[in-house]
Amino acid sequence: MTTSAAVSGLAWCTFRLAGRDYGVELARVLEVLRPQPITRLPLSPPAIAGLLNLRGRIVPVVDPRVVLGAARPSLDARGGLVVVSGDDGPVALLVDAIGDVRRADPAAPVLASLPGSAGHPDAGRGDDASPLVACTLALPGELLNVLDLDGVLARAFATPGMDGTRP
């Protein structure tokens, strides 16, 4: 199956992180929230921003900027939260700005995401871990980096030094 065939018919919830457009599969998105109070969790991995009380359910908040190696904005600049389904329940992604829902155009070019290539979020990591961007879609006026959500969450919850990788 070609990459373009794999993305046709899919939709993504988009958001901005560190000046770039990212997306996650719409089927994995539970809800999108405005900024909420987040309780910091001492001794947590660096990518865990804290915990969120979501209607009585405690949800971990992941800062994808840390996993992607991007600069963190000031705490006042939080744009919202994208709550996604993880292996162990919901997880909130802390994002700079909420985008919209984008659907795949079968005619849109799909750019393979190659680790180590210029501008790739994994560039310069120096390890052979799997890429965090599943593919990049060329949409009108923008490039959409589709995140490998399972890979991002696995690195976010990894304890530094326990498995030999960095978050």
Q: The pTM is what?
A: 0.78
For residue 167, is it within any domain?
no
**Domain around 124:** 3-157
Q: Is residue 166 part of a domain?
A: no
- Going by pLDDT thresholds of 50, 70 and 90, the confidence category of residue 161 is low
Label residue 54 by pLDDT band (50, 70, 90): very high
Q: Is the pLDDT of residue 125 over 50?
A: no
Residue 163 lies in a domain: no
Check residue 72 and give its pLDDT: 66
Instruction: Assess whether pLDDT exceeds 70 at residue 40.
Output: yes
CATH number at residue 61: 2.40.50.180
User: What percent of the residues of the chain are helix, what percent strand, and what percent coil, each to the nearest 5?
Assistant: 15, 40, 45
Question: 94 pairs with which residues across the strands?
Answer: 81
Distances (CA, A) of 115 to 32, 141, 148: 29, 24, 13
| Range of lowest pLDDT (4-18, 46-60, 80-94, 113-127) | 113-127
Counting the structural domains of the chain, the total is: 1
